[in-house]
Amino acid sequence: MEKNKLPRFVKIEGGNCARFSNVMHMQYHRRLYDQVVAVDKEKLKLTDAVLAEWREAIDQEVELNKEATQSVHTARLVKLDAERDRLLTNFFGVIRIQKLSPVAALQEAAQRVEVIFKPYAGIQNEALEAESGHIAGMFEDAKKCTADLTTLGLTAVLSQLRTVNAEFEQLGATRRHEAVEAKRPSATAIRPKTDEALEFVVQHIQGSYLFSTVEADRLLIYSLAAEMNKITADFKASHKSSDAQKKKHPGDGGGKKPGGNPGGGNPGGGKKPDDGGKNPGGNPGGNPGGGGKTPDPGKDPGKDPEKEKELDEIEKMLTPLIPAFEKEIGDRPGSLSFAREVVGTGKDRRFKFYNTRTKVWTWATLRADGTLAPWGAEP
């Protein structure tokens, strides 16, 4: 293109946003909408009705992403899961320590209990519902070694775990019931409408440039198209980077994955976690609580539907917290999006965000009051 000469036409690139996560799809449209409405709609040949249709579809996506967190039970569920993880860590830690006890009765009891509970090692890092099911399995297997559990002082720990897990499951059921009652349309129904509304707007903008005879207006529209393409490029880069991270570290990111033991058969005979080959018979010298979790060899942990489902839940939980977090760290509204990467557990859990404006990764953690707090540099 010659200096100071505008091209004959402009093309606003599509974002291939069908592959975006729900929250990223919503943020993408919000950013584009804000860019478009900042320009005189008369010059773009856009009507209030056309813009309102797009805005309504975006607002529906915002509400859909808020749905899980708007439940009054969500914060309590997060705390209950952290409490379950703490009790489980204590339970397995006591077994590990007492295996080294100089008191023969304690050492022998720990060795017997380890054989029964080895399949459950690391269930703290599983998907929420899977963890609930495996805890139920622990209660069944606990019936086989009540005397040894009493000797090790673990009866009270299991009793408290039973109480916490029961409350967690009850609250989860209540929240699911509320979601059904709300009868909101699904993301698969809403997102195509938002994309269609955007495409209609894009056609208006491109046509306005093509048929405008005012050089200043053409320059304005050309600049708008360039800004929209920059937003699209940023979101594509964010999505690509997030995908690359998941492929590079398929087992990382706090995604709860099954722990287990690649060894022999199941001497407990009761309910056992996940039938992915985790049996208590092998590796008798292993660590029942040390977090040495081995992904199910029959599954690709990077494609684990349970993990993806949990990340969807976390994404919904974090979405309404982002605006306040952006304000706290002094960033523009709509700059941050959840990168679907989590590390740590309980109160040490950290969430990764991508800043589409600065192209910088940001980590945050949850405060006790349920708000996001800056974590600092990437761990």
Q: Which is more confident, 301 or 76? A: 76
By residue count, the chain amounts to 379
Does residue 206 sit within a domain? Answer: yes
Calculate the alpha carbon distances from 273 to 122, 290, 338 in Å: 11, 17, 31
Does residue 9 sit within a domain? Answer: no
pLDDT band per the 50, 70, 90 thresholds, residue 207: very high
% of the chain with per-residue pLDDT over 70: 77
Q: What is the pLDDT of residues 229-285, one digit of tens each?
A: 999 998 888 877 766 555 554 444 444 433 333 333 333 333 333 333 333 333 333
Structure tokens at 157: 């720990």
Q: What is the pLDDT of residues 310-356, one digit of tens each?
A: 888 788 888 888 888 888 887 788 889 988 988 887 667 888 988 88
Does residue 7 sit within a domain? Answer: no
Does residue 4 sit within a domain? Answer: no
| Residues ≥6 apart with Cβ < 8 Å to 47 | 41
Q: What letter represents residue 192's amino acid? A: P
Does residue 264 sit within a domain? Answer: yes
Split into its structural domains, the chain has a count of 1
Q: In whole numbers, what is the pLDDT of the chain averaged over residues?
A: 79
Burial of 229 (0-12, 13-18, 19+ CB in 10 A): middle
For residue 1, pLDDT beyond 80:
no
Does residue 295 sit within a domain? Answer: yes
Structure tokens at 117: 């509970």
Does residue 27 sit within a domain? Answer: yes
pLDDT band per the 50, 70, 90 thresholds, residue 181: low
**Nearest residue to 122 (alpha-carbon basis) of 304, 287, 12, 244:** 287
For residue 71, pLDDT beyond 50:
yes
Q: What is the pLDDT of residue 258?
A: 33
CB neighbourhood size of 256 (10 A): 25
By the 8 A CB rule, do 274 and 258 touch?
Answer: yes
Domain limits for position 320: 14-379
Q: What is the pLDDT of residues 82-127, one digit of tens each?
A: 999 999 999 999 999 999 999 999 999 999 999 999 999 999 988 8
Does residue 336 sit within a domain? Answer: yes
By the 8 A CB rule, do 356 and 31 touch?
Answer: yes
